Amino acid sequence: MPILIRGGVVVNHDHSRQADVLIDGETILAIGPKLSAPAGTEIIDADGCFVLPGGIDPHTHLEMPFMGTVSADDFESGTRAALSGGTTMVVDFCLPAPGQSLLAAYQEWRHKSEKAVADHSFHMAITWWDKQVFDEMDTVVKTYGINTFKHFLAYKGALMVNDDELFHSFSRCAGLGALPLVHAENGDIVFRLQQHYIDQGITGPEGHAYSRPPEVEGEATNRAIMIADMAGSQLYVVHTSCRDSHEAIARARAAGKRVYGEPLIQHLVLDDSEYQNKDWDYAARRVMSPPFRNKSHQDSLWAGLASGSLQVVATDHCAFTAEQKRMGLGDFRKIPNGTGGLEDRMPVLWTAGVKTGRLTKEEFVAVTSTNIARILNIYPRKGAIAVGSDADLTIWDPAATKTIQAKTQLSRVEYNVFEGYECTGLPIVTLSRGRIAWKDKQIQLQKGDGAFIQRDPFPAAAVANATWKELSKPRPVSRIEVTP
């Protein structure tokens, strides 16, 4: 049955206008004033509301084995939470254990994601390096439709890769038309600082924040940018949490490098006072990497979103129960790192960003959906309200209010880092590929209704090498081809 969304203001990243939206099957058929609908069309009234492209969260960790446990939200509970907050697609991480085949890890993650209620895609993590990884990356891109590879510069002894591995992998990404992602914290220094604070008798959650200062993030961001540039690759820096990292990204962009930065909703509104003079459980539930920062960093992140030097807002949703967090009692190094946010990202960003005047509603659409779709190469299938695009959209009531409470959330954990936050602006009805996914405060889709979305490689023209552009004599080849 076709659906007509009538009477709303359609908001895209570049303009807004009063228009109806007619949906047939999975896609948008027409957009315009006073559309007429065939007999039998379901009419949804959007009077007084905005009609926004469904949110895309480019950074989640559902059912992820990590730090001796597994994150508590799986692809079912996580994508239900996402849909309730206006997010119609998540991009999660397929995480091969060091030494594990990328192809085997992909099969494992696809099995987990069969439960997804919403559309989803993966980034593939590079946690080790040799010829097998080099070869398998080709299949990951060309057969599996995964065009992004994640690299951890932290988690020494577990997921961390060194500069040699980074250079090889970035170079391989450039050759395949893929985009490398980086978790930018200097893992060697974090390891030393952790030991230092433990030796000083600081064993509680505040030690986690002390051992990961903004400098470790600024250093690693600068390093990854320079290595990507030498490898002729673009770069996406996940969870940009501080001024130090943002400035490195802005500087790189001003020099013509294709570098992207992703603040998290948590870092935009919560700060490191959450770790000070709080009981152990309260503070441990807020332990994530990078940690919450001094409030003075938030203005820089907001300015980046407004000016475009930072492009997207994510959650890094990686939820652990109170019991799981207690694995770190007596040693902050053992507190599983991660917080939730999937269902709160859009309402909190609207409240803290649009309602305050920091972002326009069009910028809100850009950073929650359109820019992400473009950077991940799924635009305009996703990220736009346009004829022919997937009918992923949310009817957004700017006057609706709610107070965030763990007891009403869909995430499986029993607390929420935004507890008590008063949101104004909420998704009332959300559609996923033309099907009603959220209405009357209920999820209307089932386990397994989400599709795995393949993403094509980037055109070769997107691969940059600013370093070589500066040479007076062009090199004989345009890019280093590093082999294992």
> Binding of Zn ion at residue 111 (CB under 5 A)?
yes
DSSP for 341-409, please give it: -TTTHHHHHIIIIITTTSS-HHHHHIIIIIHHHHHTT-TTTSS---TTSB--EEEEEEEEEEE--GGG-
288 binds, among Zn ion, ligand DUC, none (CB under 5 to 8 A by kind): ligand DUC
For residues 55-94, which are near Zn ion according to CB under 5 A?
A: none
434 binds, among ligand DUC, Zn ion, none (CB under 5 to 8 A by kind): none
What whole-number distance in Å separates Cα of residue 14 and Cα of residue 16?
A: 7
Encoded tokens for 19: 């228009």
18 contact partners, CB below 8 Å, separation of at least 6: 8, 9, 10, 33
Sign of CA dihedral 27, 15, 300, 462: positive
Minimum Å gap between C-beta 59 and Zn ion is 6
Q: How much is the CA Rg of the chain, to the nearest whole Å?
A: 22
Q: Is the Cβ–Cβ distance between 87 and 392 less than 8 Å?
A: no
Minimum Å gap between C-beta 287 and ligand DUC is 7
Count residues contacting Zn ion (CB under 5 A)?
3
Please identify which residue in 6, 150, 172, 183 interacts with Zn ion, judged by CB under 5 A: 183
Amino acid identity, residue 113?
S
338 binds, among Zn ion, ligand DUC, none (CB under 5 to 8 A by kind): ligand DUC
Length of the chain counted residue by residue: 484
> Binding of ligand DUC at residue 241 (CB under 6 A)?
no
Encoded tokens for 233: 């690759």
330 contact partners, CB below 8 Å, separation of at least 6: 203
Of 311 and 337, CB closest to ligand DUC: 337
Of 171 and 240, CB closest to Zn ion: 240
Of 158 and 460, CB closest to Zn ion: 158
Minimum Å gap between C-beta 65 and ligand DUC is 11
Please identify which residue in 13, 59, 61, 168 interacts with ligand DUC, judged by CB under 6 A: 61
For residues 411-430, which are near ligand DUC according to CB under 6 A?
A: none
Please identify which residue in 184, 249, 318, 366 interacts with ligand DUC, judged by CB under 6 A: 318
385 binds, among ligand DUC, Zn ion, none (CB under 5 to 8 A by kind): none
Minimum Å gap between C-beta 226 and Zn ion is 20
Half-sphere exposure of 462 (CA within 13 A, CB side): 20
Minimum Å gap between C-beta 239 and ligand DUC is 7
Q: Determine the 3-state secondary structure of 390 from DSSP.
A: strand
> Binding of ligand DUC at residue 316 (CB under 6 A)?
yes
Helices (H) and strands (E) in the chain, counts: 16, 20
> Binding of ligand DUC at residue 141 (CB under 6 A)?
no
Of 50 and 106, CB closest to Zn ion: 106
111 binds, among ligand DUC, Zn ion, none (CB under 5 to 8 A by kind): Zn ion
Q: Is the Cβ–Cβ distance between 4 and 42 less than 8 Å?
A: yes
Of 57 and 316, CB closest to Zn ion: 316
434: alpha, beta or left, given left = phi > 0 and alpha = psi -120 to 50?
left
Which stretches of 25-101 are DSSP H helices?
Answer: 75-84
Nearest residue to ligand DUC by CB is 288
Minimum Å gap between C-beta 77 and ligand DUC is 17
For residues 274-293, which are near ligand DUC according to CB under 6 A?
A: 288-289
Which stretches of 280-355 are DSSP H helices?
Answer: 280-284, 298-307, 322-325, 345-349
Residue with tokens 């996406």: 236
Encoded tokens for 70: 């597994």
- DSSP code of residue 335: S
> Binding of ligand DUC at residue 317 (CB under 6 A)?
no
Residue 320's φ and ψ, nearest 5 degrees, are -125, 145
Element holding 189 (H helix, E strand): helix 187-199
Please identify which residue in 175, 205, 207, 338 interacts with ligand DUC, judged by CB under 6 A: 338
Please identify which residue in 183, 253, 293, 345 interacts with ligand DUC, judged by CB under 6 A: 183
Nearest residue to Zn ion by CB is 183
> Binding of Zn ion at residue 316 (CB under 5 A)?
yes
Nearest to 113 by CA among 90, 136, 145, 82: 90
Q: Is the Cβ–Cβ distance between 99 and 354 less than 8 Å?
A: no
> Binding of ligand DUC at residue 92 (CB under 6 A)?
no
> Binding of ligand DUC at residue 150 (CB under 6 A)?
no
For residues 13-42, which are near ligand DUC according to CB under 6 A?
A: none
Binding site for ligand DUC (CB under 6 A): 61, 183, 288-289, 316, 318, 337-338
* Binding stretches for Zn ion (CB under 5 A): 111, 183, 316
